[in-house]
């Protein structure tokens, strides 16, 4: 029996190229090495881009909603337009999947948080977000994936975006949470918008709400304390950008600590990117800290050892453990 051997080569592209060729050895490819689009895919791509360029975002979004689910998946994935059009449910390297029904209103207004990790190109929101009602991904998730998501504390709501308070966003969230409840999938929201808490806190499909705080008081500390006491599902999490932020978080009390997001402009802005060892050293025994129990060393596709932030082995589950230990 002939054994399969990994191709040699100093660059990872050698292995990737061999995989592509082995799967479809006769496939025509473009200049970048990707499979050439067939006429149907090319037509969908060109039609969508022409509408987007000539008639604007609203018309392009209407076109995307008018075609079938299969055609939307072709448009989104096979034509490699995920930076332009994307479903509201997307892959997330840390929490497996996340749900972003709306862009961040602070960023849309030109006033993003100084430490926002979505400033980097790989996390930018697409031009068009397909409404969840037209895709309903949760209904198609496998039971195995649902169990895996629940082991991380549930699917995350708001990763690249945040709540904008629009009626169409509320409809998406309600449909999404209904599907989560029917499938037994836990859902956790991380937000800076108090109106999200007021509007959706009592939805039975929502497991936990993390109200995100920082030194800039994007959410006033006194108000955050009131919301923690008022709503049983609310946990406070504080973004630690420097050691001095630890004292602020401890004065507020019972905060889940999240140490920096580490985008490329961190050092220039005077923020510190913390290692796992630093997080462990700075965290007191009674405190809950994000990415202390969940950071692992893993091998990627090219057999390279990488540090992977994952929620799968975290014992805090975005603050659920901290809530249980709270005396409030």
Residues 73 and 158 in one domain: no
Is the pLDDT at 22 greater than 80? The verdict is no
Tokens in use for 220?
């006033």
89-92 and 96-99 as β-strands: parallel, antiparallel, unpaired? antiparallel
What's the whole-model pTM score?
Answer: 0.77
**Band of pLDDT at residue 279, cut at 50, 70 and 90:** confident
- Asked whether residue 24 is domain-assigned, the answer is no
Mark which of 81, 102, 137 sits at the end of a domain.
81
Residues 176 and 303 in one domain: yes
Calpha distance 219→228 (Å, rounded): 12
- Asked whether residue 289 is domain-assigned, the answer is yes
Residues 50 and 115 in one domain: no
DSSP H or E run through 97: strand 96-99
Look at residues 6, 16, 78 and name the one whose alpha carbon lies nearest to residue 45: 78
Residues 227 and 252 in one domain: yes
- Asked whether residue 22 is domain-assigned, the answer is no
Domain range spanning residue 315? Answer: 82-325
- Asked whether residue 1 is domain-assigned, the answer is no
Residues 160 and 269 in one domain: yes
| pLDDT confidence of residue 128 | 87
- Looking at the structure of the chain, the number of domains it has is 2
| Lowest model confidence (mean pLDDT) among 113-117, 233-237, 297-301 | 297-301
E strand intervals along the chain: 85-87, 89-92, 96-99, 128-130, 155-157, 187-191, 208-213, 234-240, 255-259, 295-299, 305-309
Residues 140 and 260 in one domain: yes
Range with the largest mean pLDDT of 14-23, 152-161, 279-288:
152-161
Mark which of 21, 46, 81 sits at the end of a domain.
81
- Asked whether residue 10 is domain-assigned, the answer is no
Q: Per residue in 176-226, pLDDT tens?
A: 999 999 999 999 999 999 999 999 999 999 999 999 999 999 999 999 999
Residue 37 backbone class (left: φ over 0; alpha: ψ -120 to 50; beta: rest): beta
Residues 40 and 131 in one domain: no
SS3 content of the chain, % helix, strand, coil (to 5): 40, 15, 45
| Lowest model confidence (mean pLDDT) among 45-49, 61-65, 130-134, 301-305 | 301-305
Q: Per residue in 294-318, pLDDT tens?
A: 666 666 545 566 566 667 667 677 7
Mark which of 81, 115, 137 sits at the end of a domain.
81
Q: What angle do CA 202, 205, 210 make, to 5 degrees?
A: 70
How high is the mean pLDDT of the chain?
80
Bigger pLDDT: 135 vs 328: 135
Residues 64 and 137 in one domain: no
- Asked whether residue 6 is domain-assigned, the answer is no
Calpha distance 243→79 (Å, rounded): 45
Bigger pLDDT: 75 vs 209: 209
Residue 170: Cβ within 10 Å count: 17
What are residue 96's DSSP bridge partners?
92
Residues 320 and 258 in one domain: yes
Calpha distance 308→300 (Å, rounded): 9
DSSP H or E run through 14: helix 12-23
Q: What is the CATH number of the domain that holds 213?
A: 3.20.20
**Band of pLDDT at residue 19, cut at 50, 70 and 90:** very low
Residues 52 and 99 in one domain: no
Residues 167 and 71 in one domain: no
- Asked whether residue 11 is domain-assigned, the answer is no
**Band of pLDDT at residue 11, cut at 50, 70 and 90:** very low
The residue-averaged pLDDT of 275-288 equals 82
| Lowest model confidence (mean pLDDT) among 12-16, 166-170, 216-220, 307-311 | 12-16
Contact 165, 193 (CB under 8 A): yes
Q: In degrees rounded to 5, what are phi and psi of residue 119?
A: -65, -30
Contact 60, 51 (CB under 8 A): yes
Residues 134 and 56 in one domain: no
- Asked whether residue 301 is domain-assigned, the answer is yes
CA dihedral 258, 259, 262, 268 (to 10 degrees): 130
């Amino acid at each position: 029996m002939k054994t399969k051997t990994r191709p040699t080569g100093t660059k990872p592209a050698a292995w990737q190229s061999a995989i592509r060729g082995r799967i479809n050895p006769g496939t025509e490819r473009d200049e970048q090495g990707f499979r050439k689009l067939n006429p149907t895919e090319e037509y969908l791509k060109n039609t969508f881009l022409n509408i987007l360029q000539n008639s604007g975002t609203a018309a392009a979004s209407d076109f995307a909603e008018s075609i079938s689910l299969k055609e939307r998946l072709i448009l989104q994935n096979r034509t490699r337009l995920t930076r332009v059009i994307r479903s509201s449910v997307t892959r997330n390297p840390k929490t497996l999947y996340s749900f972003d029904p709306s862009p961040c209103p602070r960023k849309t207004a030109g006033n993003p948080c100084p430490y926002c990790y979505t400033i980097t190109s790989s996390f930018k929101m697409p031009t068009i977000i397909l409404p969840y009602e037209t895709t309903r991904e949760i209904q198609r998730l496998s039971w195995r994936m649902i169990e895996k998501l629940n082991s991380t504390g549930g699917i995350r709501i708001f990763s690249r975006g945040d709540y904008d308070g629009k009626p169409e966003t509320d409809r998406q969230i309600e449909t999404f949470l209904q599907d989560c409840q029917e499938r037994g999938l836990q859902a956790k929201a991380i937000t800076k918008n108090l109106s999200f808490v007021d509007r959706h806190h009592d939805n039975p499909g929502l497991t936990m709400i993390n109200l995100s705080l920082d030194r800039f008081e994007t959410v006033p500390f006194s108000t955050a304390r009131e919301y923690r006491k008022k709503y049983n599902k609310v946990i406070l999490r504080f973004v630690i950008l420097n050691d001095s932020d630890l004292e602020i978080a401890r004065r507020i009390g019972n905060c889940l600590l999240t140490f920096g997001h580490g985008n490329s402009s961190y050092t220039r802005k005077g923020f510190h990117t913390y290692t796992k060892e630093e997080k462990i050293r700075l965290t007191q025994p009674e405190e809950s800290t994000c990415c202390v129990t969940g950071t692992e060393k893993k091998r990627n596709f090219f057999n390279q050892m990488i540090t992977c932030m994952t929620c799968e082995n975290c014992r805090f589950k975005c603050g659920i453990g901290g809530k249980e230990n709270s005396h409030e």
